[in-house]
Amino acid sequence: MRPVGAGVLTIIGGVFILLGGVVVAFVGAIFALIGFWSGFFLLGLLLGFLTILIGILMMAVPSAHSVWGALAIIFALVSLVVALGGFLVGFLLTLIGGILALAWKRPTAQFITVQARTVPPPPPS
């Protein structure tokens, strides 16, 4: 079993963060035309791609679900500053996906228990 719900929510949130990063990069391009250039405006794009990657890794490597969940929560919080929070929808979806990844528990293997055979008593003599 894999944390599919957490991964899907994180990927969708990453797409919204990427869209917010595109808007911030567009504003940065306008500022660059004026003469003010900064690499800060490209951080939203990078963060969106990394968030999508984290969502994919949640489903591909479920053994590290706590690491992916913590990174998704951190990326969601950072997206508020560098990508408009993915229009707030990306922030919320990524945050919920990260929390679900942290709360996910690996399903336990179900063993069939068999009672030991009892030895019949010896025949009466």
Q: Does residue 110 form part of some domain?
A: no
Q: Does residue 116 form part of some domain?
A: no
Question: How large is the average pLDDT for residues 18-33?
Answer: 93
Longest Cα pair distance anywhere in the chain, in angstroms?
109
Q: Which domain holds residue 9?
A: 4-103
Residue 29 has pLDDT above 80, yes or no: yes
What confidence score (pLDDT) does residue 37 get?
83
Residue 108 has pLDDT above 80, yes or no: no
Q: Does residue 120 form part of some domain?
A: no
Q: Kindly report, residue by residue over 43-101, the tens digit of the pLDDT.
A: 999 999 999 999 999 999 999 999 999 999 999 999 999 999 999 999 999 999 999 99
Q: Kindly report, residue by residue over 88-101, the tens digit of the pLDDT.
A: 999 999 999 999 99
Question: How large is the average pLDDT for residues 19-39?
Answer: 91
Q: Does residue 124 form part of some domain?
A: no
DSSP result, 94-121: HHHHHHHHHH--PPPPPPPP-PPPPPPP
Q: Does residue 81 form part of some domain?
A: yes
Residue 116 has pLDDT above 60, yes or no: no
Q: How far apart are CA 102 and CA 94, in angstroms?
A: 12
Considering its fold, how many domains does the chain have in total? 1
